[in-house]
Structure 1
Amino acid sequence: MYKQFNRPFISLDLGTSNILAYVSGQGIVYNQPSLMAYDVRTNKLIAIGQDAYEMVGKTNDNVRLITPLIDGVIADLDAAQDLLKHIFDRLKMMNFWKNSIVVLACPSGVTELERDALKMVAKDMGASLVVVEEEVKMSALGAGVNIEMPMGHLIVDIGGGTTDIAIISAGDIVISRSIKVAGNAFNEEILKYVRAEYNISIGSKTAENIKKSIGSLVKYPNERSIQIYGRDIISGLPKEVTVNSEEVRNILLGSFSKITDLVIEIMENTPPELAGDIMKNGMVLCGGGALVRNIDKYFFDIFQLPTKIAADPLNCVIEGTKAYEKIILKRVESGEYDASQETYLQTLKK
């Protein structure tokens, strides 16, 4: 089947925090932060990915840091094109784009216009068929859920820019919602708290380090504190303060309450038969936010549903697109997608 069409398969997880790329036969060929640094004077790209991330909060006026994808949506089309070209140029794989079949994973709330912008980038790179799928559906596949069965599954994908929640059954999404409360929003709330409580200004990287080091949603044994450094907003001098686990937990609980409210909304609109399935199958947690300590216990205590964290929550989306390759090629063979023309055809779910 694959040889019949002789088209490379490429998938991209276009995340707010990280970009991952998979090429059939090559595996995951790129996994870097979604950041780019440009020289303001020449508009030349000077750093990308991890190199650009290391520059956060440490640049001068001649350097401009750009996140081309915000909340899974292209905010800067030129930068997004530069990003994709760099990924495959660096890996000497530009020829893989020609006549390729490309799957782009995006959040549930992306509009048709935003989908068109995503598709245009891949088309300009030479892709023949571009399919845009929701990240939460790919996450379910990547977490090992058999989505093809007529059985309801509740998926919560907490990424960097958005949290996507969906009920999936019989191979597709029954109902889904997306909220812009996720990893970056958690960092921002920590940053605001430290400024208000201790009168010091910290950067987003420090806030993220606090979240990863001592963040939790349920009290745990041997909780500890962390020393952080920032700038005193009154004197302007460097200052050190200590933040403890309970403080960070209270910050995170405020943000997670919005996610739980969305889960409740989803459940209230779920068909009764699928609700019964979810009572048995429970909830699957994916995305970087699933790494917050005791998140499974937090959701279980609220909903009394079996709660499972995916084995590799950070890579669920890209792993799901790898599993989706067989489904796409089968659809091409059946005529659902026309891979012989450089056009994008909507999936039959529409």
Structure 2
Amino acid sequence: MDWIGSFGSEDIGVDIGTSHVVIYVKHKGVVFSESSVIAKNEMTREYFTYGTKAEEMEGKAPKEITVLHPMKHSAIIDYNGAAYLLNSIVNQSYLKNMFFHPRLMMCVPTGINSVQRRALLEAAVAMGARKTVLIDQPIAAMMGMGLTGGESVGNMVVDFGGGSTKIAILSAHGIVVSHFSLESGNELDQAIMSTIRDKYHVRIGKKEAESLKIALGASWDLDSAPRVAETCGLSLVSGYPVKIAVTGEDIAHAINPILYKIFKSIRDVIQRTPPALLASIREQGIHLIGGGAQLAGLDELVSRVTGIPAHVAKRPNYVNAVGAGMSLDYINEFRDSLQDLH
């Protein structure tokens, strides 16, 4: 890479996730975090809003309005939608001056294929980038959490994202073992929606399911004092809006089967880890990042299942973008983990 030493004040780190887009600007920090959602008018075939505004329309918009998610399982599935999303972000008045032909360090899941790389390149072009480099998300996360990853130090990172879960063992600025799973925060929400429908014959939306997940997420021990949260939905019996009381036991039964699949993947990765790294991983603990890492009680449950202390990173939604931006200062150390796109 003949441009390795050329990063400067216009360099930014970007994390385009299934649920959120996070942008970090060197010397300024995180300048943007929005939902990866767009809205389209099917009559005019035009996109017209994005982010939280689009997300709030989900399930409420008139029939000619479609709410879309251009990312799925951490990959772009709708290029035009993703290009609109990123272009709209860049053209916000308070961000526009920061994005004058920037150089991007963009986070990607480990093992990304050539088609997905090309989609990311085109998305970067939509942002007006003059140079784009991909960095594996676990490497970016390690930097974002301030972990050194020295030659003999092992670190374990579990990224609970909205569209996927990524698990990695890192050492010496490289990925030793990794695993990509489709179990995700969105799956937890869908499971809660299904449980409420089947048990109470009430249909609730994704935001209501997410609120229940947050409110009752710590109810792992079904023998403890019951916890209850109220939510509103549409009765499938009467056809009218109703308010119901949902228990922690309901949520546990809904999400635990999915969580246990993730825990099995974590154990599998630990079993594939070189023995020389296991002692330092036990000492460092398992680092939990991503929006799903904020599920109450998750760190305790991961510790219980693995026998290794687990910690939720500070600002777990932002560590990938922050690490991508920070890695620009150490780019020569990471050259083997980077992919120069253009």
- Normalising by the residue count of structure 1, what TM-score does the alignment of the two structures yield? 0.88
Residues 331 and 43 from structure 1, CA distance in 2 versus in 1: closer, same or farther, beyond 3 angstroms? farther
1:306-338 deviation line (CA, Å, top 9, x unaligned): 22111221212122123212123x479x99989
Structure 2 gap segments, 5+ residues each? none
1:176-234 deviation line (CA, Å, top 9, x unaligned): 11111111111000001111111111111111111011122633976521122212223
Q: 1:62 aligns with which of 61, 64, 72?
A: 64
Amino acid aligned to 2:157: I
Does 1:178 find its partner at 2:180?
yes
Q: 2:140 aligns with which of 138, 141, 145?
A: 138
1:224 aligns to what?
227
Does 1:250 find its partner at 2:253?
yes
Q: Deviation of residue 123 (structure 1)?
A: 3.1
Structure 1 gap segments, 5+ residues each? 346-350
Residues 124 and 243 from structure 1, CA distance in 2 versus in 1: closer, same or farther, beyond 3 angstroms? closer
Does the aligned pair in 2 maintain the 1:216–1:248 contact within 8 Å? Answer: no
Amino acid aligned to 1:239: V
Q: 2:284 aligns with which of 281, 284, 291?
A: 281
The runs of at least 4 aligned residues of structure 1 exceeding 6 Å deviation read 334-338
2:11 aligns to what?
9
Residues 194 and 118 from structure 1, CA distance in 2 versus in 1: closer, same or farther, beyond 3 angstroms? same
C-alpha distance in structure 1 between counterparts of 2:210 and 2:120, whole Å: 28
Amino acid aligned to 2:273: T
Does 1:306 find its partner at 2:303?
no
- Identify which range, 13-22 or 91-100, moves more after superposition: 91-100
SS at match of 1:314: coil
Does 1:344 find its partner at 2:312?
no
Q: Deviation of residue 293 (structure 1)?
A: 1.2
Q: 1:91 aligns with which of 75, 90, 93?
A: 93
- Identify which range, 120-129 or 247-256, moves more after superposition: 120-129
Q: 2:268 aligns with which of 260, 265, 271?
A: 265
1:297 aligns to what?
300
Residues 224 and 136 from structure 1, CA distance in 2 versus in 1: closer, same or farther, beyond 3 angstroms? same
Q: Deviation of residue 153 (structure 1)?
A: 0.8
Q: Deviation of residue 154 (structure 1)?
A: 0.9
- CA RMSD between the two structures: 2.7
Q: 1:237 aligns with which of 220, 240, 260?
A: 240
Residues 233 and 125 from structure 1, CA distance in 2 versus in 1: closer, same or farther, beyond 3 angstroms? same
Trace 1:105-116 onto structure 2 (pairs within 5 A): 105-116=107-118
1:191 aligns to what?
193
C-alpha distance in structure 1 between counterparts of 2:195 and 2:247, whole Å: 12
- Normalising by the residue count of structure 2, what TM-score does the alignment of the two structures yield? 0.90
SS at match of 1:234: coil
Q: Deviation of residue 171 (structure 1)?
A: 0.4
- Identify which range, 181-190 or 106-115, moves more after superposition: 106-115
C-alpha distance in structure 2 between counterparts of 1:181 and 1:227, whole Å: 26
Amino acid aligned to 2:341: Y
Amino acid aligned to 1:50: T
SS at match of 2:112: coil
Does the aligned pair in 2 maintain the 1:283–1:307 contact within 8 Å? Answer: yes
1:348 aligns to what?
none
2:50 aligns to what?
48
C-alpha distance in structure 1 between counterparts of 2:277 and 2:66, whole Å: 48
Does the aligned pair in 2 maintain the 1:215–1:252 contact within 8 Å? Answer: no
Does the aligned pair in 1 maintain the 2:219–2:227 contact within 8 Å? Answer: no
Q: Deviation of residue 94 (structure 1)?
A: 4.9
1:237-277 deviation line (CA, Å, top 9, x unaligned): 22322111122123222111011111121112111111232
Q: Percent identity?
A: 27
Amino acid aligned to 2:305: I
Does the aligned pair in 1 maintain the 2:293–2:312 contact within 8 Å? Answer: yes
1:66-85 deviation line (CA, Å, top 9, x unaligned): 11111211111011111111
